[in-house]
Amino acid sequence: MKILDGKKLSEEIKNEIAQEVAGIKDAGGKIPHLAAVLIGHNPASESYVRSKVRSCDQVGFESTLIRKDDSITEEELLEIIHELNTSEDVDGFIVQLPLPKHIDEVKVTLAIDPKKDVDGFHPVNFGRMAQGLPCYLPATPYGILQMIERYGIETSGKHVVVVGRSNIVGTPMSILLSRKAKTGNATVTLTHSRTKDLAAEVSRADIVIAAIGIPNFISADMIKEGAVIIDVGINRVEDETRKRGYRLVGDVDFDGVSEKASYVTPVPGGVGPMTVTSLLMNTLKSSRKEIYG
């Protein structure tokens, strides 16, 4: 079994981005600028946003973090989005989800200018993705595609089973891998909480992509010998031996599955770092005006 090392791969990609940014700087060009809006004090969101800002520093991007309290109104948040949409300086921005209950996430997503939607969540980008048009790919599926491509894993003609149908991971992943494209041409089964015999579906997969949010849900007995296992899940489980009182585990029973799989992504250090890198790649594309001119 080989590890799909997202941490190492994301460092390689960040080095490539840093070189390009150094070139832009030398030529006196505009430095790519990513902004992040963080509402409230959700510990997981704080940690994701910290890592995004740190990654910007690492590659030489400008970054702006806009922090607001849980008490912010929807109107105030929409005003911040409007300012970011019209800012000459900001190339792309994200609004970290989840948002407080009194704010409509759909309304917020729709308010983001698709040209600056580097998370790739806006329906315009989603629709363009589905039709194979230039767009910002949603960050997590984009990171997974990069990983599959750079590790030379064949997808053409393979059977992929995606577990979980969220708008940000499972559904776009199923569309991307079934496209007529270099990392695509797979036959994809999209499974979810109403799937009748999930274990039987997963057992037929050459490649499994698990995005469920249940610790260790995919076990060794469910997978085929030699399957490629991509674990998107990030779950906190109590662990008193750790200083923080918890540890992170994926949706896959890593130890069990490692005995049978050909490739597995670890958690942490697999898909997570690739997601952050994709955000940087989308921001770079925005600053180059590659997608929307």
The DSSP symbol for 216 reads: T
Asked if 198 interacts with ligand NAD (CB under 6 A), we say: yes
Contact of 184 with 156, CB cutoff 8 Å: yes
- Which of 33, 115, 165, 285: binder of ligand NAD (CB under 6 A)? 165
Asked if 120 interacts with ligand NAD (CB under 6 A), we say: no
Nearest 5°: the CA angle 31, 37, 38 is 135
> What string of DSSP letters covers 99-135?
PPTTS-HHHHHHHS-GGGBTT--SHHHHHHHHTT-S-
Contact of 120 with 142, CB cutoff 8 Å: yes
Residue 119 annotated in active site: yes
Q: Which stretch binds ligand NAD (CB under 6 A): 88-96, 126-134, 232-240, 256-264?
A: 232-240
Q: Which of 91, 117, 119, 251 is catalytic?
A: 119
Residue 158 annotated in active site: no
Q: Which stretch binds ligand NAD (CB under 6 A): 28-36, 77-85, 163-171, 172-180?
A: 163-171
Asked if 51 interacts with ligand NAD (CB under 6 A), we say: no
Asked if 163 interacts with ligand NAD (CB under 6 A), we say: yes
> What size, in residues, is the chain?
293
Asked if 235 interacts with ligand NAD (CB under 6 A), we say: yes
Residue 131 annotated in active site: no
Dist. CA 285–CA 114, nearest whole Å: 13
Q: Which stretch binds ligand NAD (CB under 6 A): 99-107, 127-135, 182-190, 271-279?
A: 271-279
The set of catalytic residues is 52, 96, 119
